[in-house]
Chains A and B, each alone.
Chain A
Amino acid sequence: MTSPKTTVQTIHSDRIGDSYYKIQHASGLTVFVYPKEENHSAFASFAANFGSINTAFQIEGEEGVRRVPDGIAHYLEHKLFESEEGDAFLKFSKTGASANAYTSFDSTCYIVSSSENLYESLEILLSFVQDPFFTKENVAKEQGIIGQEIQMYEDDPQWKVMFNLLRNMYHTHPVRNDIAGTLESIAEITPEDLYLCYNTFYTPSSMVLAIAGKIDVDTVIGLCDRLLKNRQEKHVRRIFENEPETVLSHRVEQKLPVAIPLFQFGFKRTPGEKPASVEKIAATEILLEIMAADSSPLFRRLLDAELINETSFDTEYFEGPGYDAVFFSGESRNPDAVAQEILKEAESLRKRGISEIDFLRAKKSVYGRNVSALNSTDSIANSLASMYFSGRELFSYLEALINIEPASVFAELSSISPANSVLSVILPED
């Protein structure tokens, strides 16, 4: 049951010396306010727990499963900026705020950064996101624009190397599909589809508002009281078909106009029923750091063998609803040799175990980077919003990093094995 009263909870970190507020607003929306009094601006993200992977869902009270075209979350993001009275950008231009939006696999975020007319800008943000206006004409008009956005990504080798990997790692999970869809799928999108998705997923309980910077919590609550609409909640089940634990193929390559091959080497892991805990994320991040940071023996071997370069080699922990993987990526004259070395290192680490000194060093490094990220209001607001959708909390993550034990890190190593690996390679054209 939604409480009819607004409640405010303070979340404090002794270690960091910062506090933020978690507000359960009477409308049903959860709002985070992370004040930084000495800043000159604030950054806000109004986000919906609706991304490119949510193309099949069942609404409570309905018999069948609804299926919508690939790319619809992103299309909706573009179209929400329009209303009957015109473009949201025109409204923001009166406050000077810088506004934007982005769609990821599991969410859509509408963001604004503003200094002098912050509350006016917030008002515009809250209003336009709650005011859909989709017509046949304005939906058709967007096809050319998004079509060019899709084409732009088609030419981006980093983007291609990742999606080629995902398409060979996942059999059915929609994380394998391009976030913006395809030229064909977006041609099918109708105003009715957009309203259906809007009414299903843009409801207080599946949205969040997160603001960080020069901001007063009471003024934010006042704005919410005035502007947040009481919307009918729809209980919706997000549907994902059964995803096997295996991968489709272990290797995929594509030729593109690049001068040096690009690779992404990924390991598919079994996702839990619930989103990964802060402890699991901390353990995986530290494992990747121990295995492949600049200071690691693996990095040095690859560098000395001229197989990678310092600029491009990187790792990523990639997880969300129904998917969980780790990636190693970069440029290399010989991606297959890099992949072999990574597997060898995992094997060797399994045998020799994690040394105390490597563990502490990796922990310090990951901790430092995470504390540093709290300088940035963008990073804070975006993290608060995305962690909320995954049931995680910002300061608990830092504590998890500090308290992690080597054994938990070691346990994550088992997923790095050839059986669940995919190597995606982009090769230069002949």
Chain B
Amino acid sequence: MMHGMRRSIGKGVHFLGIQDAKFKTMRISIHFLLPLRKDTVCANAMLPFLMGRAGGDYPDFTQLSQKLDDLYGAGLNTDAGKIGDAQLLSYSITGLSSRYAFMGENMALELAGLLKGLLFHPAFENGSFKEEDIRQEKRQICELIDSDMNDKRLYARRRCEALLADGEDWGINPYGTKEGIEALTSEELLLAWKRLLTNSQVEILALGDCDTSAVEKLFEEAFSSIERKDVFSYESLPLKKERVVRHESENADVAQSKLVMGFQTGITPRDPRMAAAKVMIGMFGGTPTSKLFMNVREKLSLCYYCSAGFSGAKGILYVQSGVESRNILRVEEEVQMQLSKMKEGEFTEEEILSVKKSMRNSYTSLSDSLSALEGWYFSQSLQGSYLTPEEALEDVEKVTEEEIIEAASSVTLDTVFALVGNGGGETA
């Protein structure tokens, strides 16, 4: 596999190509980063949905879907999300390598051309998005906002995040609010589209069995026709607040309660303590031999899952567990107790080694999956340092016991959210 270089192909526009014929497919993605702000979040969020519906030479939903089918079931994924203080609008297309196409079609050009058409030539009518498309996508994004509630684990985590953010912009839902979405006009959406192409930081990745230089050339030309200015540049600051621990809860008609504990660490990817923080979090609650799994689940049988995850962009550590209502407090205390063990260095050399090995396993496996590779290099492009998984592993291997204790010591509990269940619903 060739490890490509990330290259600038325009003002704030970067391209990375990794050509590797071991894959039977290719994946081409364009990520746009913009500030995450209340006044623009809704209009921005609508774009991936509107532009993923129709565009370029395929002015309606059915025509675009048929084209994707004709390209051997190519997958088009467009979505809005967030990373730290930025809103992320992503457009990805995946499809078969040319060698499996019945007529030997040049799949890289087909797929990249389609994506380019959707971005640069949306399905406009009288110079703006069509009213019918807007109406349809408004409805669907509102349903998506609503469906958040269906996954109680995710819902509890989002509630904890909102409490941690306490009104700051980074806490807002990257899909916006239903009221905000409903109120959008086609003028605002047109402006948002112009903003997307003109002001955002753009990261383009082409990976797999793909003619990456052809894709690069295509997008370099496309962006040269845009007058890029006031270009956003991603950076994210850790959450750092002096405040007392807050406990919030909400009742719900569910069988299992959800506990989410949000901790500040002050450590983000640019911090030299990052590698140590990752090892520490793995030992604390990231693997089936971690302190949380071995104690809260295996020893005390209090739950099916109790794990720690890191939201690096804001330096927040989340511990999540699904428990019986009467055990919520017990789990919370046990989590705190296991954390204090990490802080006091009550762990073995074996525990350190086991997490390092597990990280080695996942980092070396990355290059076997296009989406994992893309995730890695995209996140590297936001971090200042631009490391291969192998280089990042060297940093992990060097982490010492003292550094782990130091990273654990930076962890302070900020907010606890519990979704408190009552035993569940009835079948009619």
Q: Which residues of A contact B (CB under 8 A)?
A: 15-17, 36, 38-41, 87, 89-90, 92-99, 113-117, 141-146, 148-149, 151-152, 154-158, 164, 213, 252-260, 262, 293-295, 297, 299-300, 303-304, 306, 309-312, 331, 361-362, 364-369, 371-372, 374-377, 429
Contacts and interface: CB of A to CB of B under 8 A. Distances in A.
Contacts of A16: 24, 100
A258 B362 CA distance: 36
Contacts of A297: 62
B139 interface: yes
B158 interface: no
B255 A115 contact: no
Contacts of B322: 148, 151-152
A114 B361 contact: yes
B22 A366 contact: no
A155 B365 contact: no
Contacts of B147: 258-260, 311-312, 331
Contacts of B152: 155
A326 B25 CA distance: 29
B368 to A, nearest CB: 5
B121 interface: no
A262 B24 contact: no
B2 to A, nearest CB: 12
A379 to B, nearest CB: 11
Interface residues of B, number: 74
A260 B24 contact: no
Given A144-B301, A331-B143, A293 B96 contact: no
Contact of B364 (A95, A116, A311): A116
B256 interface: yes
Interface stretch (B37-45, B70-78, B112-120): B70-78
B302 interface: yes
A170 to B, nearest CB: 16
A364 B69 contact: yes
Interface of B: 1, 20, 22-25, 53, 61-62, 65-66, 68-74, 94-96, 99-100, 102, 136, 139-140, 143-144, 146-152, 252-256, 287-289, 297-298, 301-305, 322-324, 354, 356-362, 364-365, 367-370, 421, 424-428
A414 to B, nearest CB: 25
A12 to B, nearest CB: 16
Point out which of A253, A364, A368 has the most chain B C-beta atoms below 10 A from its C-beta: A368
Contacts of A255: 425-426, 428
B424 A144 contact: no
Given A257-B149, A372-B24, A39 B136 contact: no
Nearest to A253: B428
Contacts of A213: 368
Given A149-B304, A254-B426, A362-B69, A375 B24 contact: yes
